[in-house]
Structure 1
Amino acid sequence: MRLGLRASTRRTRTCGGRTTPGVESDEPAGEGVNHSNVPRGALGARVRRVRLERGLTLRDTERQTGVSRSMLSKIERGRASPTATVLGKLAEGLKISISQLIGGPVAIARRHPVLLRVKNQPVFRVARTGFERRSLSPVGRGRTVDLVVNILPPGQSSGEFPPHRAGVRETLAVSAGQLQLVLGRRKFKLGAGDAIFYGADVGHRFDNPSATDPAVFYIVIDYSRVG
């Protein structure tokens, strides 16, 4: 079944694996994420709006997310793009999902179908590695499940995602290629057709061990057990 997704096979330098705990250091603008249909300025404005809605200063947000005030300021002003790791820290620290942070169609009435055409699905793409995350579910208050599809080029890593809130569960299914899931200190090797269910309240990352083929994998993120 064709989904209108293109897996990048561009060979780039391998992403550096694990991240260092603590405050996220600054990085040059434009080297993090290239939001193909989520403008950098729009993402920054959304981060600022969520922060202000919660009554947080930049210092408060730095403390809650582990992202430095200087980087937060650059992101909010559209001067820098976050990596996948930074975006994950922002979402968890602000207690929303990544899909809610990058935006997308809003499901207002649950009983009515919400059609998401490919062109309207928010895409988060890391320019340096080619890692791509596409949101397939609408956002909105009261929604407790997120569906995303990811494309990870050969030899690349997603970078480490911070632990989700306690109670968050993920179901991952590999559609094509090979994938290594690093879940805390445990590693799981998966191939096309394999699936795994796990608690996502630990640090985790996704690596593609193949030298030739991209990995395509779906993740269902369940927030229904979050207190």
Structure 2
Amino acid sequence: MSDKPSFLQAEQQFFKVSQDNAEATVEPLELGKRVREIRLSQNLTLEEASKRTGLARSTLSKIENEQISPTFTAVNKLVKGLGIDIPQLFTQPTKKAPGSGGRRDITRSGEGKPHPTPTYEHELLATQLTSKKMIPFKTTVRTHSWDEYEDWVRHDGEEFLFVLSGSIMFYTEFYEPIELNAGDSAYYDCEMGHALVSISEQDAEVLWVTA
């Protein structure tokens, strides 16, 4: 294949993901938050946790809100009642980015953000959400010949491919080409060169999720 920058630049621009270079900091353990996190992970109310641990509801509430520090006896009751071990209790609670919990984005049919390339017609989905861990997009495979590619498509991450309609030939750098039809799927390392060719009469449509 010849090296033509227009094709490579179009694909690299589409898959370019910004890197967060913020340094991690070590913060003091907030035991109350850890107790609350464990309780909620088990879908327990304060009343239910109180029955399991033998600690008063008010005591549990004060512990979770950092109003009191649990005694050694209370810690033992928490460990036994919640079915955990002491190291789990003293592990740092999971940190989430502000405002990242409970996010949602709806993309109506045909209302995704179009992003054409020389061989694909991408439709970006869930474009209102920032800092996504996955990039979902629907693609119409316009090319019907391997010769239309100027080089392999490759980028960072892993990718899931699901054929929505039509048939494609799935080319990968280290494997033999394989035909995929509507309902078929593939998961692969997308640093490996890959490309799709529509082999049905109409342009095939696929759903891609890149992580």
TM normalised by structure 1 equals 0.47
Match of 1:63 in 2: none
Instruction: Give identity over the alignment, percent.
Output: 15
Does residue 123 (structure 1) correspond to residue 114 (structure 2)? The answer is yes
Gaps of 5+ in 2: 20-98
Gap change, CA 1:220 and 1:201, over 3 Å in 2 = same
Larger RCO: Structure 1 or Structure 2 (Cα < 8 Å, ≥ 6 residues apart)? 1
Normalization by structure 2: what TM-score?
A: 0.51
8 A contact 1:154–1:213 mirrored in 2? no
Distance, in Å, in 1 between the alignment partners of 2:100 and 2:17 is 23
SS of the residue corresponding to residue 86 of structure 1 reads: helix
**Residue 90 in structure 1 maps to residue 79 in structure 2:** no
Report the equivalent of 1:190: 180
Over 3 Å counting, the alpha-carbon distance change for 1:197 and 1:119 in structure 2 is closer
1:144, CA displacement in angstroms? 1.0
Distance (Å, rounded) in 2 between the aligned partners of 1:181 and 1:132? 17
2:134 alignment counterpart: 145
Aligned to 1:221: 210
SS of corresponding position for 2:9? helix
1:207, CA displacement in angstroms?
A: 0.9
Q: Which amino acid in structure 1 is aligned with residue 112 of structure 2?
A: Q
Letter in 2 for 1:147: P
Separation of aligned partners in 2, 1:220 and 1:95: 14
Give the number of aligned pairs: 129
Deviations, residues 114-160 of structure 1 (Å, cap 9, x unaligned): 2223464211124x65x311111236553110111111236256744
The runs of 5 or more residues in structure 1 that have no matched partner are 1-17, 26-81, 98-107, 223-227
Partner amino acid for 1:151?
T
Q: Measured at CA, do residues 96 and 184 of structure 1 come closer, stay the same or move farther in structure 2, by a change above 3 Å?
A: farther
